[in-house]
Structure 1
Amino acid sequence: MRVNVQDVMTREPITVPTTMPFKQVASTLADNKISAVPVLDAAGDVAGVISEADLLRKEEFRELYYRECYESPSRIRNDRAPGFDARRKAQALTAADLMTSPAVTIRPDTSVVRAVRVMDEQRVKRLLVVDDEGRLAGVISRSDLLRLFVRDDRDLAGEILEEVLKPAKWITTDALTVAAEEGVVTLAGHTPTRSEAELAVRMTQRVNGVVAVVDRLGWEDDDLSPRRTR
């Protein structure tokens, strides 16, 4: 069963306007115990995103400038020299100065598998979810994706049997049982053919929330054997 971004994203996320002062942005993150916040412009469109790292730029460069006052310039390593974007954020007064723009976005109907790939490719911990008109629909973070692996075992086993295996007309489930413990799914029983048993395992492995599959299936006819007489 495919799970899309809209199935696990945080809806109606907290946002800040581009004009919000630095201190209020910091308070918004701290008071709501969140690590990032979307920034909206005057029209309500996504302008960017601010993370804790963006806010901490100011403290990072406060320390750097302090060292520059007391150390010889020759002792300041080149790799500590701030870039333009980092300096801008360090001197930020409002959300517009702080934010990273454009923000990395994704559509609600995108699969969570694709969302994980985008996060990895873009090296971000969260994605802003936008609708067809480009309006903010939600936010999906790594913690949201982790929810897929903390599903109730009984619900997981029931979904696999009732919504994945039984609807598949090419798999006979009359003598097949599904059990789950800590996300590890055990398929047991018999199927008429070996191909059905192997297909059942592959389909189960694709279900979100499955940690591993234990194959205890038997079959009556080894229809995959090259020695089978046809």
Structure 2
Amino acid sequence: MPGTPTVVNDVMTRRVVALRTGAAFKDIVRTMQEWHVSALPVLDDGGHVVGVVSEADLLPKQEYSEGEVVRYGRAQHLAEVRKADAVTAGELMTAPAVAVTPDATLACAARAMARRRVKRLPVVAADGTLLGIVSRSDLLKVFLRDDPAIAEDVRREVVERLFGDAEAIRTEVRDGVVTLTGHVRDTALIPLAARLARAVAGVVDVHCALSGRPRHPDLDPDLPDPQRSAPA
């Protein structure tokens, strides 16, 4: 993981249980209980992901019991009522499935989960075959990186690339929070340094205390004098 972009492939779970479209209702519930998951991908005969069955898809069976169907049989509830009558994964599943590819960034996967309000996403190959599952907890694994590894990445990927001399800038990391201190020649690069540091895998926050180098008129005649007032 150090030194490389962190993508779904780095954190996804590769051992995955999945359903066929013909899986029976009770088998779906039993599988969720045994694997301690709240959703399962559904595959066609070719192993392609065609949908996902979640606990939310199963609940209408309980919610719309026989005595409740008439009461809730209005247009806005018809989809739920139909799921209450469903008995197989193909009938119950939400389709098409929201999925990601293994090269998707963690930020992309997190946005997809947030927008679709799901807790996990199937990870699929270019042809739609199932490769794994990425969950919310998987996305958080990156924050388990230790501070020295994060500091080394910030020095190499941010400080050295932008400013060249890593020794002139102090990089400290504590509990994932990066602090950059020191003087740089080009102050226009300071905001970029903060943004790039924040993007390093495992960084929780960035405190950027970088500033311009003190001016020495005899040695740095090209640097502006911060003590000189601006002309009126």
Whether these two folds match at TM > 0.5 is: yes
| Structure 2 residue matching 1:174: 3-state secondary structure | helix
1:165: how far off?
3.0
Give the alignment partner of residue 37 of structure 1, picking from 36, 40, 44: 40
**Aligned-pair distance for 1:18?**
1.5
User: Which AA in structure 1 matches 2:87?
Assistant: L
TM (norm. structure 2) is 0.79
Query: Whole-Å Cα distance in 2 between the matches of residues 94 and 224 of structure 1?
Result: 73
Residues 14 and 101 (structure 1 numbering): CA distance in 2 closer, same or farther, change over 3 Å? same
SS in 2 for 1:19: coil
Question: What is the aligned counterpart of 1:28 among 9, 28, 31?
Answer: 31
How far apart, in 2, do the equivalents of 1:94 and 1:10 lie? 26
Report what 1:143 is aligned to: 137
The residue number in structure 2 matching 1:18 is: 21
Determine which of 111, 119, 126 is the counterpart of 2:113. Answer: 119
**Matched ranges for 1:127-138 at <5 A:** 127-138=121-132
Check 1:224–1:59 CA distance in 2 against 1; reply closer, same or farther (3 A cut).
farther
C-alpha displacement of 1:67: 5.2
Shift of 1:31: 0.9
Unaligned runs of 5+ residues in structure 1 are: none
Aligned CA RMSD, in angstroms, stands at 3.0
Alpha-carbon distance in 1 for matches of 2:111, 2:224: 34
- Structure 2 partner of 1:214: 207
The 5 Å alignment of 1:26-175 reads 26-62=29-65, 65-66=66-67, 76=71, 83-166=77-160, 168=161, 170-175=163-168
Paired residue secondary structure (1:11): coil
Gaps of 5+ in 2: 216-222
Q: What is the Cα deviation at residue 192 of structure 1? A: 3.5
The alignment-based identity, stated in percent, is: 40
Q: 1:93 to 1:190 in 2, by over 3 A?
A: same
Deviation of 1:78 (Å) = 8.0
Aligned residues: 219
Name the counterpart of 2:184. 191
Aligned CA distance change for structure 1 residues 217 and 46 (closer, same or farther; 3 Å): same
After TM superposition, the structure 1 stretch with the greater mean CA deviation from structure 2, 215-224 or 106-115, is 215-224
Deviates more, 1:46-55 or 1:206-215: 206-215
